[in-house]
Amino acid sequence: MRFAVLLAASLLVAACSQAVDGQARQSESSQSVPSGTSRTAPSSTTAPPPTAAPKAQAPIGEVVRWIEAAAPAAPEEFRTVSREGASTDLGEGVAFTTPAGTSKCMTNRGADGALTCLVELRDPPERPADVYGEWKGGWVDFPGATLDVGSAHGDPGPFSDGFGAELPYGEALSFGDYRCRTDPAGLFCVNYAHRSAARFSDAGIEPFGCLQEVSPPPDIGARFSC
């Protein structure tokens, strides 16, 4: 009789163990991803570049995509400036002129390679009352965080040795933190370090990105700042 009771107890424990073990395996299986299921990776698709030059107040991303869509220009073709037949090497700097001749730009060695341009503006900023010297309303300094239009200069400054070669329409020149593309609508340049950009044309200077018009210093015609 005692043997029968022990045998029945052993069989009951074994049955309970199998039930618990089976439930645990079933729960683990239900939490796993089915073999036929795959997770969808996040889409990395970006918007296509615009086909036309960016308009005023266009988002900076649109401006950058349009500039980057242009064929790359060879930087070595823009390492010199010329005046009256004499050429001057710029080293690592660059200089270029738009096909219409409206904008003439170069990297300014006296300003850590910032972009400086002479733009033939139809309506340049007027000279402030307290500024003396030769006023150049189309002188543009674009270091990235700011963009100044109009300032006084007693000499040609970085342009003393002349101007750079023509940057053809539809090409973009990369240098330092900048990339510039020419177009009949104007010259478009982006500064990647500050994610700012501008269009240079005879109609005026159009800022993009973080650049907003602010009150200029007494010796500057107009200023845009991030």
- State yes or no: pLDDT of 37 exceeds 80: no
Q: Identify the CA nearest to 61 among candidates 212, 183, 196.
A: 196
- Measured in residues, the chain has a length of 226
When pLDDT is cut at 50, 70 and 90, the band that residue 26 belongs to is: very low
Distance (Å, whole) CA 6 – CA 170: 94
In the block, tokens 């750079």 appear at 164
Q: For residue range 143-177, list pLDDT tens digits in order.
A: 999 999 999 987 778 899 999 999 999 999 999 99
Domain locations in the chain as residue ranges: 61-225
Enter the pTM of the model: 0.78
Distance (Å, whole) CA 105 – CA 95: 6
**What pLDDT is recorded for position 46?**
67
Higher local confidence (pLDDT), 34 or 70: 70
Q: For residue range 193-215, list pLDDT tens digits in order.
A: 999 999 999 999 999 999 999 99
When pLDDT is cut at 50, 70 and 90, the band that residue 23 belongs to is: very low
In the block, tokens 């005023």 appear at 56
* Dihedral sign for Cα atoms in the order 70, 121, 56, 179: positive
Average predicted confidence (pLDDT) for the chain? 84
Q: With contact defined as beta carbons under 8 Å apart, do 75 and 159 qualify?
A: no
- State yes or no: pLDDT of 39 exceeds 70: no
Task: Provide the percentage of residues in the chain whose pLDDT is more than 90.
Answer: 69
- State yes or no: pLDDT of 9 exceeds 70: no
